[in-house]
A = this chain, B = another copy of it.
């Protein structure tokens, strides 16, 4: 489904410019020439994003934004002719999501539109900031969710904690002790068998073959290493490139 963008601007040539540019980018397009009509369209058509020009003939831009924010949280990008910091701050704190001063490049406008649509709250399974996203594997500690190849994965608490700890240290070798301390606490930092069982269960759920593990590698006598970042080229013998 194409995202719909509502442009509220009183200058016909700007609207025309937007219509062409946004249309070419594959967005569905709506326009209004004043604030009243803009709010009406916002209410009736529920656009996915609003581009709001300040300095409309019928109403102050800040007031318009406030009216909109009474009932909607749709992302709003504000355009203005002036470049006053005071104004920017006021608008952004008043609920605008982004701000662009004229003259602006159309490429930048479109890039910012994309960002706002991309970061739309609650789009995919809503995720928190602590989320680890490896593409194929997404771990969201705030919601205690794991997605593997798009499918949600059900993990017990210890399983989740171990996977999260390993994934937080992706690429790095982590010792048995550090995992045990992090997940079970100081008192159990030598009970490596706890860890073995959880790792075994994790590999089962990740369909990771323990004889040739793709994700959770065993480092005999030391610990485990979680791998997922696509690190192709690095040949096996080359010296450690990182600062260690």
Interface residues in chain A, defined as those with a beta carbon under 8 Å from any beta carbon in chain B? 36, 40, 43-44, 46, 48-49, 69-75, 85-86, 88-89, 92-93, 96-98, 105, 107-108, 110-112, 114-115, 119-123, 125-134, 142-145, 157, 167-173, 219-222, 225, 228-230, 234, 240-243
**A92→B107 CA distance, assembly (Å):** 11
Q: List 16 A-B contacts (CB under 8 A).
A: A36-B242, A49-B129, A70-B127, A71-B132, A73-B125, A74-B129, A75-B129, A92-B108, A92-B114, A97-B115, A119-B121, A121-B121, A122-B127, A122-B143, A142-B173, A143-B173
Residues of B with C-beta under 8 A to A219: 144
**Pairwise interchain contact A89-B72, C-beta atoms closer than 8 A:** no
Which residues of the partner chain B approach A108 to less than 8 Å between Cβ atoms?
Answer: 85, 88-89, 92
Closest Cβ of chain B to A37, distance in Å, is 9
The answer to whether B105 touches A85 (Cβ under 8 A) is yes
Contacts A48-B129, A49-B129 known; 10 new A-B pairs at CB < 8 A: A70-B128, A70-B230, A72-B133, A75-B119, A85-B105, A88-B105, A89-B111, A122-B128, A142-B172, A143-B225
Which of A92, A115, A129 has the most B CB atoms < 10 Å from its CB?
A129
